[in-house]
Amino acid sequence: MKLYLVQHGEAKSEAEDPERPLTDRGKSEVSRIAKLAEKMGLNPAKIYHSGKLRAKQTAEHLAGALQRPSEVASGLNPMDDVRLWADRLAKGKEDLMLVGHLPFMEKLASYLLCGNENARLVLFRHGAIVCLDQKEDQAWAVRWILTPEMIPQ
């Protein structure tokens, strides 16, 4: 099972816009990441997002490129308990993509990788994809990380 963890693209500050949509830079970076994800053949069964506008817009870019459904899921907000998703993932077999926020994404990755959500094993970046792979013994490992800087403009 592969798990693609995505921190939403760069968003406007709350002072600029309380809804916090993606900035032009955020849209551009997420679009480039989505196009490369399509070329790489990423095939998540579903793309879940927190429902916050910046996460929804990021998920929609990815869903469009990957031709996969995107939907709101509970438990992906910045301060949500990572154990809810860890338990859900333990019961699943399908590749999934989760689009959310910090510190949740960093904590979930650390919890899956070493059982300590505060270890900060993976540093996320706006618009990046972190691919975790569940091994035969059910343990998780980092397969790869793709950041917008890695993609030529």
**CATH number of the CATH domain containing 87:** 3.40.50.1240
DSSP symbol at 22: B
> Which of 20, 108, 98, 8 lies closest to 55 in space, CA to CA?
8
Indicate the pLDDT class of residue 77, thresholds 50, 70 and 90.
very high
Does residue 52 register a pLDDT over 90?
Answer: yes
CA-to-CA distance for 111 and 123, rounded, in angstroms?
Answer: 13
In terms of pTM, does the model score above 0.85? yes
Please indicate, yes or no, if residue 92 is contained in any of the structural domains. yes
Please indicate, yes or no, if residue 128 is contained in any of the structural domains. no
- Count how many residues are written for the chain: 153
> Looking at the 3D structure of the chain, how many domains does it have?
1
Please indicate, yes or no, if residue 39 is contained in any of the structural domains. yes
Please indicate, yes or no, if residue 127 is contained in any of the structural domains. no
> Which pLDDT does position 131 carry in this prediction?
98
> Which pLDDT does position 110 carry in this prediction?
98
CA-to-CA distance for 65 and 143, rounded, in angstroms?
Answer: 21
> Which of 109, 139, 138 lies closest to 121 in space, CA to CA?
109
Please indicate, yes or no, if residue 54 is contained in any of the structural domains. yes
Read off the tokens for 105: 């994404």
Please indicate, yes or no, if residue 72 is contained in any of the structural domains. yes
The answer to whether residues 47 and 99 touch, using CB atoms and an 8 Å cutoff, is yes
Residue 29's domain spans which residues?
2-10+20-122+142-150
Please indicate, yes or no, if residue 24 is contained in any of the structural domains. yes
Please indicate, yes or no, if residue 86 is contained in any of the structural domains. yes
